[in-house]
Amino acid sequence: MTIHIGAKPGDIAETVLLPGDPYRAKWAAETFLEDVKLVNEVRGMLGFTGTWKGNRVTIQGSGMGMPSLSIYANELIKSYDAKTLIRIGSCGGMQDKVNVRDVILATACSSLSTPSRGIFKELQFAPTCDFELLHNAYKTAEKRGVPTHVGGIYSADVFYDERPDLNEEMTRHGILAVEMEAAELYILAARYGRRALAVLTVSDHLITGEALPADQREQSFGDMVEIALEAAFA
């Protein structure tokens, strides 16, 4: 048991999926896992452990933003020895070729700052994903016929951004999408020698203004969850 996770020793699996929304964690666990057990509800940040094709999996909400993700990832790694951490969440498309409902596999994450910035000081550390997870995820997406893009993303530290100039430069330099957590996850995975990947569903688009209606999100997010599970255990 930690400050933010009430799970007992042995309750957390070595493979953890990290949606930001605790209720998305509940939906994913109930939809894709068997023998599901609630292992955390501290501060309403729900976590569940069950099995997928005989493999133990924990799905733990991580909250919004890198500081919140950093708390849960640190505790999962250092106190529960999680070895594979996969972010599953939504993102905003930033390229014309990226469409709403597409899946993005993030190879690297740009950011203005992260909770780990103080460690690196003047160094611009470039956090990247685990190649084996990326390779497995891409093969799974291809097999399922899911429109998928592989490349760099931007992890923002604010949701209501007022930097259109920065967005334009990221689009110009090929950044596929924006979200709020993956950069810190990749940094922590590098620090502690763990595997990490962000598998994201495009829920809205910064260029076209298109957005996925709330009642259609769960169905579209299903591909993302299954890709993440296959990637972890392929």
- Residue of 21, 157, 161, 204 with catalytic role: 204
| Residue 217 annotated as binding site | no
In angstroms, the CA 137 to CA 139 distance is 6
Helix (H, G, I), strand (E, B) or coil at 50: strand
In angstroms, the CA 126 to CA 133 distance is 18
96 is an active site residue: no
| Residue 168 annotated as binding site | no
| Residue 6 annotated as binding site | no
Q: Compute the C-alpha angle 52/130/20, nearest 5°.
A: 60
| Residue 204 annotated as binding site | yes
| Residue 24 annotated as binding site | yes
| Residue 173 annotated as binding site | no
* C-alpha radius of gyration, the chain, whole number: 16
In angstroms, the CA 162 to CA 11 distance is 42
| Residue 144 annotated as binding site | no
* Residue 195 amino acid letter: R
| Residue 66 annotated as binding site | no
Number of helices (H), then strands (E), in the chain: 7, 9
| Residue 89 annotated as binding site | yes
Tokens of residue 28, six digits: 């994913």
Q: Which residues fall in the annotated binding site for phosphate?
A: 20, 24, 43, 87-90
Q: Which residues fall in the annotated binding site?
A: 4, 20, 24, 43, 87-90, 179-181, 203-204
* Residues with catalytic roles: 204
Q: Which residues fall in the annotated binding site for a purine D-ribonucleoside?
A: 4, 179-181, 203-204
